[in-house]
């Protein structure tokens, strides 16, 4: 369940991420009443089974049963707001009216880890951002430096609008254009190195910024894009590398969807801790 909105005094409009139909909006008639059979399941984040039928041009829920509730999310404002952001991302990036099993699975695992508190929340967020974008058709090419083919380098620059990487040497040799004024905005951990070297003749970074990545941050970014889905969240990143990875993922996301989602803004503005 990505979102629940009230409709009038009695009904609810549900935004669901479904296995077979992707993102779907369906009415739950009477579901604002305590006595309604669908009352209990009409809550955000729940994973469950829903019987949905189509009449004229809208969908309605007839039967539903909750299977997994992620209850720990509601007691923690930071987790709750991050979970809301995850749901907004899914509603923006998952397809509609088509099979979306992979999206559903990755969301369910992400919410599980967030709820259980077993993984670093920032790492979960960055990995989910990169994976959902990749699944939605925005997979970057992180295999090697686009110019010289280097697989690793002390510094790699990840160009958001092109979705490619350049090693520090090739970037310094003139691959980089006027990426001025695009600074790290998220405050994800102090290690964001913001783009902008001036110079107007480069081929990359003309229309967007880049993130500077050390070797560990690049590994984390690669992992989040290329790892098998079942082990997507099974890596660990920390310190400077985690800060760079988180910053790069968030900025890449914003460059692709061309805005800052409301729920992300809310999450960013929460007091630390």
Interacting residues toward Zn ion by CB under 5 A: 145, 147-148, 150, 167, 170
Strand partners, 13: 5, 27
Q: How far is the CB of 148 from Zn ion (least distance, A)?
A: 3
* Dihedral pair phi/psi, residue 154, rounded to 5°: -55, -35
Q: How far is the CB of 198 from Zn ion (least distance, A)?
A: 20
Q: How far is the CB of 193 from Zn ion (least distance, A)?
A: 17
DSSP state of 55: E
Residue closer to Zn ion (CB basis): 150 or 257: 150
Q: How far is the CB of 146 from Zn ion (least distance, A)?
A: 7
What is the C-alpha separation between 202 and 187, in angstroms, rounded?
A: 28
Residue closer to Zn ion (CB basis): 113 or 159: 159
From 119, 41, 39, 30, select the one nearest 82 (Cα to Cα): 119
Residue closer to Zn ion (CB basis): 67 or 148: 148
Q: How far is the CB of 258 from Zn ion (least distance, A)?
A: 28
Residue closer to Zn ion (CB basis): 140 or 189: 140
Residue closer to Zn ion (CB basis): 143 or 230: 143
Q: How far is the CB of 203 from Zn ion (least distance, A)?
A: 13
Instruction: Extract the tokens encoding 71.
Output: 């209850």
Q: How far is the CB of 168 from Zn ion (least distance, A)?
A: 8
Residue closer to Zn ion (CB basis): 87 or 170: 170
What is the C-alpha separation between 153 and 151, in angstroms, rounded?
A: 7
From 154, 256, 141, 142, select the one nearest 209 (Cα to Cα): 256
Cα–Cα–Cα angle for 52, 55, 57, nearest 5°?
105
Give the CA count within 13 Å in the CB-facing half-sphere of 195.
29
The set of residues, in sequence order, having a beta carbon less than 8 Å from that of 182 and lying 6+ positions away, is 194, 195, 196, 208, 209, 210, 251
Task: Tell me the three state secondary structure of residue 91.
Answer: helix
What is the C-alpha separation between 192 and 213, in angstroms, rounded?
A: 9
Residue closer to Zn ion (CB basis): 102 or 155: 155
């Amino acid at each position: 369940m990505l979102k629940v909105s009230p409709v009038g005094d009695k009904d609810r409009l549900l935004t669901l991420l479904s296995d077979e139909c992707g993102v779907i909006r369906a009415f739950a008639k009477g579901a604002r009443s305590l006595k309604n059979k669908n009352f209990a399941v009409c809550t955000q984040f729940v994973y469950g089974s829903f019987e949905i039928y189509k009449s004229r041009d809208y969908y309605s829920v007839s039967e539903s049963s909750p299977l997994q509730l992620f209850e720990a999310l509601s007691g923690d404002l930071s987790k709750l707001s991050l979970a809301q952001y995850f749901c907004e991302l899914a509603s923006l990036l998952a397809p509609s009216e088509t099979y979306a099993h992979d999206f559903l699975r990755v969301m369910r695992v992400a919410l599980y880890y967030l709820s259980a508190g077993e993984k670093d929340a920032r790492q979960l967020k960055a990995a989910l951002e990169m994976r959902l974008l990749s699944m939605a058709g925005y997979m970057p090419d992180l295999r090697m430096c686009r110019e010289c083919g280097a697989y690793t380098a002390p510094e790699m620059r990840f160009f958001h609008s092109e979705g490619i990487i350049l090693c520090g040497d090739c970037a310094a040799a003139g691959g980089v254009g006027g990426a001025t004024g695009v600074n790290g905005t998220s405050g994800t951990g102090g290690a964001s190195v913001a783009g902008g070297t001036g110079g107007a003749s480069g081929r990359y970074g003309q229309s967007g910024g880049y993130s500077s990545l050390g070797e560990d941050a690049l590994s984390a970014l690669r992992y989040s894009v290329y790892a098998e889905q079942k082990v997507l969240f099974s890596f660990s990143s920390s310190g400077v590398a985690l800060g760079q990875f988180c910053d790069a993922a968030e900025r890449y996301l914003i460059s692709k969807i061309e805005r800052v989602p409301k729920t992300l803004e809310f999450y960013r503005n929460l007091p630390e801790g």
